[in-house]
Amino acid sequence: MTAIFKREFSAYFKNPIGWVFLAIFWLFCGWGLFILVSAGYNMISYVFSNMIIVLLIGIPVLTMRLMSEEIRMKTDQALLTAPVSLSGIVWGKFLAALALFGVGMAMTVVDFIILSSFASPQVSIFVGNLIGLALMGGAFIAIGLFISTMTQSQLAAAILSFAVILFFYMLDGFASYAPWGWAVDLLTSISFFSRYNEFTNGILDYGNIIFFASVIFIFNFLSVRVLERRRWS
């Protein structure tokens, strides 16, 4: 797993993908800070609520080639015939993408330090935001990785991941139009963003943490199953 993690993480910096992702991420971090500072607010959460757009564009870029590239270039033959378990492969790749996401998130710490030099933002809210963003990012990365295991085409993986994240983005909107009570309940219960918003408000609810953690585990498990299935077909 470590070997795969190290390779994937360094691969992000060998081709433009890692840099493009960081550029988008940091652009929005700076933009959020600029608006905050020029408006004279100290609500660090504002920077984080903007990050939804970064997830929408950035995560598909991050995950599209994780498995599809391996399948297309047939390098998966080296991975699958090495003494590594399938879950080791999937988790190695997942953690590499999450680590790059973490590098992007490190910029919010810079934002926080700058902001605290002339205002006093709440540390607890900031930490809550960090945890929330990391969890939601992780959940979307797991979904993107799962989509990437299913196709050889990076483009298809990227577009599909984008569509899935967009679906979750618009889910709250769908929910309010749903004609039946149970449908509203169902849609709001799987809504990522209402849960994420609780983090940005500084509420650390275990239910929400468990929800995102379960999404990560379920989709990584599904990725392993897809790889396993490829072996039998």
CB of 113 to other proteins, least distance (A): 35
Based on CB atoms, which residue is closest to other proteins, 29 or 224?
224
CB of 158 to other proteins, least distance (A): 18
- What angle do helix axes 86-118 and 16-39 make, rounded to 10 degrees? 30
CB of 14 to other proteins, least distance (A): 5
> Helix, strand or coil for residue 15?
coil
Based on CB atoms, which residue is closest to other proteins, 123 or 229?
229
Given a contact cutoff of 8 angstroms between Cβ atoms, the answer to whether 58 and 21 are in contact is yes
Cα three-residue angle 135-222-193, rounded to 5 degrees: 30
CB of 136 to other proteins, least distance (A): 29
CB of 233 to other proteins, least distance (A): 8
Based on CB atoms, which residue is closest to other proteins, 13 or 217?
13
Based on CB atoms, which residue is closest to other proteins, 118 or 232?
232
Q: Minimal CA–CA distance to 212: which of 140, 146, 161, 139?
A: 139
Footprint on this chain of other proteins (rule: CB under 8 A) = 2-4, 6-7, 11, 14-15, 73-85, 231-233
Distances in Å between the alpha carbon of 145 and those of 127, 160, 217?
A: 26, 11, 12
Based on CB atoms, which residue is closest to other proteins, 7 or 225?
7
Cα three-residue angle 172-177-179, rounded to 5 degrees: 125
Helical (H) or strand (E) element with 208:
helix 206-232
